Every structure is written in structure tokens, then in C-alpha cells.
Amino acid sequence: MALKLDVDHPNYPKGMEFDLDGIGAKNGDSVQVTAEMERAFLAKNGKTIKEIYGHSTIVKVSGTSELKKEGGDG
């Protein structure tokens, strides 16, 4: 399963839109992350999604990086 981001911010209303360092997401929703999105994230931030959001209490990261499946460093 590709990476999935579940966003749950207790201070903002459900449906409020977030920019997660280049990935759009709505509060209370989840986002399926494609390999292309991962590559764009890595290029923009110099770090993988798991490196930046792996410890977040707001954004839960699950699944496996598509880049890792492709032999990348994700």
C-alpha cells in the first residue's frame, strides 16, 4: 500500500485545507500519496514524508513509500 496521510488537527474545523509542505490535505480526511507526489515532496524539502511527518501528532503516516518500492531512498 502506498503512503497514506491522515490529518486530524484538533484546533481547526473538519474540512479545513492544509498545505503539508507541498501536499494538499483536508482536516479529517486522508491523502493517498503517489510516487510523483513523493518525488516532488523530496525535491522541495530535501527530506522524505516520513522524515518530516513521521513524528507528527497531527499527521499520521502509514503505508509504504512508493520510492522505496522503486529502489529509492523513501
Partner 1 sequence: MPAGLGGGGKVGIAHETTMGTYIAPTIFVPVLSESLKYTEEKYYSEQIRQQTIVSDVKSGYYHVEGDIELEVDPTNIPYWLHASRHTPAFAAGVYTYVPSSAGSASTAAGVTNPKTLSITIVRNNVVFGYTGCTVGGFEFMIEDGVLKCTMNVIGIAEAVQSSPSPTWVAADLLGADAHRVYLAASAAAPTFGAVDINFNGFTFRMNYNAEAQNRIQAARSASYVSFGITEAEIESELDFLDRTDYDNFVANTQRAIKLESLNGDATFAACTSGIALQANRVSYDAYDIGLEGMGDLIMAGFTGRMIGIAAGDAYSIKVKSPSTIT
Nearest distance in Å: CB 32, partner 1: 18
| Backbone φ and ψ of 66, nearest 5° | -65, -30
- Is the Cβ of residue 19 or residue 73 nearer to partner 1 in the bound state? 19
> Alpha helix (H) ranges present in the chain?
35-45, 49-53, 66-69
The footprint of partner 1 (CB under 8 A) covers: 7, 9-13, 16-21, 52-53, 55-59
Q: How far is the CB of 15 from partner 1 (least distance, A)?
A: 10
Instruction: Report, in this order, helix, strand and coil percent for the chain, each rounded to 5.
Output: 25, 25, 45
Minimum distance between the CB of residue 37 and partner 1, rounded to whole angstroms? Answer: 16
